[in-house]
Structure 1
């Protein structure tokens, strides 16, 4: 308590305070370290117990899991109980004025920006292996922004009303979906879990939130903040579960109204196919929204600023061990600049520290999230070592004796169509293709056609004509497209996020229209002049 009180004055003025219909981006701030030190110290040696929460009931099943915390998995009977309880609570919640629902998120944002900030950051650092800056931009700044801006957008959308005419008025009611929304969250961003569950609830929906097994502690903390902020019971059910069990149960329920998903392509396809197979079961056509990662590119033209390319690529490829949907994984460099860029990358690479970010804040990134991730990345490193087309110029080693550590790895390829340039790795592995500088236009087309993904990408060029050319060729290659900036770092309300093709349904969370995805509008026409005659004038 003393640690928090010591910092209390410092919290004043951080970012934007919530008002009824205003918001501004919350700044990443670093002058509250003492509070974070205390929060990290308080978590040492402690094992949190995390139940399923249905309504106000904390439930433990026979399925117990251990991963930093002790938590329990929902079984089909509990999930079906949660569904029925949510559906029963839906009508009253949906009828609440949007301003009342928005105040829950405004209050949650204020709590996270102040008294709960250090706790949620600490749980994100420990549970998800994030450095202090990666936790701050995620579990504080982005989550706060999601809550504040979505609340703001929800209020503003009610101002979008149809035209009236003489003798009648028209009203658009932004109803929630009839049924429940299933929110399936990833491990890599605490903020994404809060948004996947929080935004549909904001718009009058009821939600079953399946948090990631490897982001359990921070997710549970966010759920508790929402409840503390006035979210009624049964509006969001916190139901950790085995993935296939959760998917099978929700897609077989007649009450399924939507799926809000972030994760892998195979899992999303499986859910989509299950929805299709069960269409005759549902009362409505479920909304299916998903973000599935990418094979994100940095294209470098001969006119690029070399230092900007080097530092931007290091951060994009290796921050959080490449475990961002937007991380740069493939790079295209002209032969004229490659010697400079290569040396710049190698010079920084030598200084990157991989370790425990909780114990050593000079750590650039930590272990990858789990054994499955480690095994997948190791296969790619083995591929690089055995392929005649690939040459590892930095890193390339990994060790799972204590933690799942992978060196930041840079690979040069002579084959731009090698699988390592097309498939998602989701680890600290950057592949580089060096091209003849005169062939840059061909390379732009190559980028567009190499990978099935289309999430993020960046073009580095100081030549305006090249920038314009690239924008035309790469129009469909990325949902978030950067010019002279790295492919990561989207900010809520500034760069709403999402991509198409295999990267997902591109619903752009963080933008003003995202809230509409979770509404089922009703138009009400009220006529004030009674109709007196059934005949039309020309009928005589």
Structure 2
């Protein structure tokens, strides 16, 4: 471990602390494969301390009595600090996860947008007076915080994926324990410094990291956690559902996908190719909405494939800190091995390797993988069926719109989808028939704090972003007030 190694600490109850047993996690720079930072490995005791701090802040002290508009102002202060520190936050995330600096800097400004959006909604949570058809009864509803929230975020976009959970949770008045990914936790600890600087009371936001079997399991099964917001894979999600079931905690799951991109015969080909490149090679393919099933009309198949191959050859793979780089490394060695093995097995199953399929020859170190294009004559290939989370697309053909939709829906996932066509009626027809939570028409990989984000089937449930996500961090209380001066006429009959 070099002398430049950064050392991070947990942020619990407004204090910085090591793991109770002194355990640490060493994190590698995926570009160099060298340890560059270390963070505490949370124990059961550490997790419990964080949850207890969050529960205490929820019911006692400054946060518990703060008005909604005051909460909004505090969230806005955090947003301003994020915007101010976007360059350094971007560098940290790039070093820790391998994501392009050009994207992490831009995405960090989006993160500020999300907090500003939810800050504006903090004092917009409204109850209602109900016109009950009962004499002498005044009935109204309140929106109250749901409680302590556990936010479990992955390594591929920690700052952004935390904002989609923490923003609405804080706006609604909850307190939060964030579990940062043990593979790339540094951005969240840098973020915790801004939480402290913004003046959030102790215990309102806590940031820890640790291994799933200890930290993650303890947090998601903790009896004082009322809601879990998780982004990750279906296997882990299944365990989280089991953990939360013990305490009847609410859960939202933003999982992965095998999103289809359909290119109809009348599409703007150049625009479609751009969308396909964005959907597969952006973020090195490490995106939950990666459009890794490219479904082309047979009349334009060869033309589009040729253009994709040419574009793939031009992709600059290298150091993500370099402004000219277009694709950095995968985040971990295990992720690289996962992608490599699926590509190998798919080729053994009969897929055609149009381009890529290996580690770049000019990269001696780092978890790099070439932009890869596979030709798949049918759906029964591992690359078509399994989420890779890497820069690999599988190309399929279709004859007519009905077949295109059939191919698109032949998956257990349902997060995103792309449609490229110049026909307005066809775009609406296809959008209504694709079973996914998000559909992009003549574009791909676009976000906004106003637009709900989430999937169907094994891509999870619940929505992040948009006003409806704020309501998911509240619970409704109904209050009945008897305005009559006299007692009930008959206490043994429900009125």
Q: TM above 0.5, one fold?
A: yes
What is the RMSD of the two structures over their aligned residues, measured on CA atoms?
A: 2.2
- Alpha carbons 2:102, 2:323 under 8 Å: kept: no
CA distance in 2, matches of 1:185, 1:251: 12
CA distance in 2, matches of 1:517, 1:126: 34
- Which structure has more relative contact order (CA 8 Å, sep 6+)? It is 2
Q: CA deviation at 1:483?
A: 1.5
> Are residues 1:444 and 2:418 paired?
no
- Alpha carbons 1:261, 1:291 under 8 Å: kept: yes
Q: CA deviation at 1:457?
A: 0.1
What is the CA deviation profile of residues 207-248 of structure 1, one whole-angstrom value per residue up to 9, with x for unaligned ones? 221111233221112222122112111112211111111233
> Are residues 1:299 and 2:255 paired?
no
Q: CA deviation at 1:371?
A: 0.9
CA distance in 2, matches of 1:133, 1:457: 25
SS in 2 for 1:122: helix
**How do 1:169-184 residues align onto structure 2 when only pairs under 5 Å count?**
170-178=139-147, 180-184=148-152
Name the residue aligned to 2:33: none
Q: CA deviation at 1:456?
A: 0.4
Q: CA deviation at 1:533?
A: 7.0
CA distance in 2, matches of 1:137, 1:186: 19
What is the CA deviation profile of residues 70-110 of structure 1, one whole-angstrom value per residue up to 9, with x for unaligned ones? 21111011211222232222113344211122222111111
> Are residues 1:350 and 2:313 paired?
yes
2:120 pairs with one of 152, 155, 165: 152
SS in 2 for 1:71: strand
Name the residue aligned to 2:66: 96
When structure 1 is superposed on structure 2, of 322-331 and 56-65 the one drifting more is: 56-65
SS in 2 for 1:270: helix
Name the residue aligned to 2:354: 393
SS in 2 for 1:445: helix
1:490 pairs with one of 436, 447, 450: 447
Cα separation, partners in 2 of 1:212 and 1:534, compared to 1, 3 Å: same
CA distance in 1, matches of 2:220, 2:166: 17
Matched pairs, number: 473
Name the residue aligned to 2:204: 235
SS in 1 for 2:287: coil
> Are residues 1:509 and 2:464 paired?
yes
1:73 pairs with one of 38, 41, 48: 41
CA distance in 1, matches of 2:51, 2:354: 52
Give the unaligned 5+ runs of structure 1: 1-43
**How do 1:137-286 residues align onto structure 2 when only pairs under 5 Å count?**
137-141=106-110, 143-158=111-126, 160-163=127-130, 170-178=139-147, 180-189=148-157, 190-276=159-245, 278=246, 282=247, 285-286=248-249
CA distance in 2, matches of 1:145, 1:526: 41
2:343 pairs with one of 381, 393, 396: 381
Name the residue aligned to 1:473: 433
When structure 1 is superposed on structure 2, of 191-200 and 101-110 the one drifting more is: 191-200
Name the residue aligned to 1:5: none
Name the residue aligned to 1:18: none
Give the unaligned 5+ runs of structure 2: 28-35
SS in 2 for 1:365: coil
Name the residue aligned to 1:35: none
Cα separation, partners in 2 of 1:387 and 1:533, compared to 1, 3 Å: closer
Name the residue aligned to 2:11: 53
